[in-house]
Amino acid sequence: MSEWRPRVFWKEVSVVPVDEGFAIQLDGRPVKTPAKKLLALPTRGLAGAVAAEWAAQKDHVDPGSMPMTRTANAAIDKVALQHAEVADMLAAYGDTDLLCYRADSPAELVARQSSLWDPALDWAETTLGARLNAVAGVMHEPQSPDALARLSARVHALDPFRLAAFHDLVLTSGSLVLAFAAADDWQDAETIWQMSRLDELWQIEHWGEDPEAQASAERKRRAFLHAKRFFDLA
């Protein structure tokens, strides 16, 4: 049985200023979120990106082609209602950050991790005021409570729309530091994404990559780059 999808009934998509920011209208009727709240965005740029997704629909609505709308819905219906819980969950990544757990061999991998990841930790210390320490192995080593508190405060300061995007930056990369680095334009998003895949790329170089893993990595890459664009527009 094919999945039911709503038909495209509108002829005009518009962005309209409202008290909450900028709403999306279809033939003059406001778009609502799945929870029946007004789909209103904080900036005209983000509203324009969401409106473009609605305008691009043909015959039937394809939710898979509407990542901006999906993240906006999540920000309004979920993140705004559980802001503290979401922020706490993301901030916790700082204590087990991907960049802090290093291989102890082979020497080439150790050197590659150091050359690519140490500058990111240095950046976090300089820009975010939080020094996280790297260790060899996978056993948990607690980070400085002061550093974690500084990072947590920055996460909690994000509004629901940016926090929704930041959520995807953290979860796809596995690193709170790299998520902040992408959000703050330390380097371009593609470069930062590749940093998060250092260990995977090492394995691919030596053992090859199967198609399923390649497809999964590409989905995560697209999600990371989308989250960065959403964050910037918000």
pLDDT tens digits, 112-136? 999 999 999 999 999 999 999 999 9
pLDDT tens digits, 17-45? 999 999 999 999 999 999 999 999 999 99
Average pLDDT over residues 216-231: 97
Token output for 3 = 């999945």
Q: What is the largest CA-CA distance in the chain?
A: 63
pLDDT above 90: residue 97: yes
Averaged pLDDT score across all residues of the chain: 95
The structure's pTM equals 0.94
Q: How far apart are CA 70 and CA 205, in angstroms?
A: 35
CATH fold, domain 82-233, is ATP12-like fold (1.10.3580)
pLDDT of 5 reads 65
pLDDT tens digits, 134-148? 999 889 999 999 999
pLDDT above 90: residue 12: yes
Segments of the chain assigned to CATH 1.10.3580.10: 82-233
pLDDT of 4 reads 47
Question: Residue 86's closest CA among 13, 162, 11?
Answer: 162
User: Is residue 71 within 8 Å of 164, Cβ to Cβ?
Assistant: yes
Assign 211 a pLDDT band (cuts: 50, 70, 90). Answer: confident
Return the percentage of the chain with pLDDT > 90, whole number.
87
Domain spanning 13-77: CATH superfamily: ATP12-like (3.30.2180.10)
Segments of the chain assigned to CATH 3.30.2180.10: 13-77
**What is the CA 4 to chain-centroid distance, rounded?**
29
Average pLDDT over residues 211-231: 94
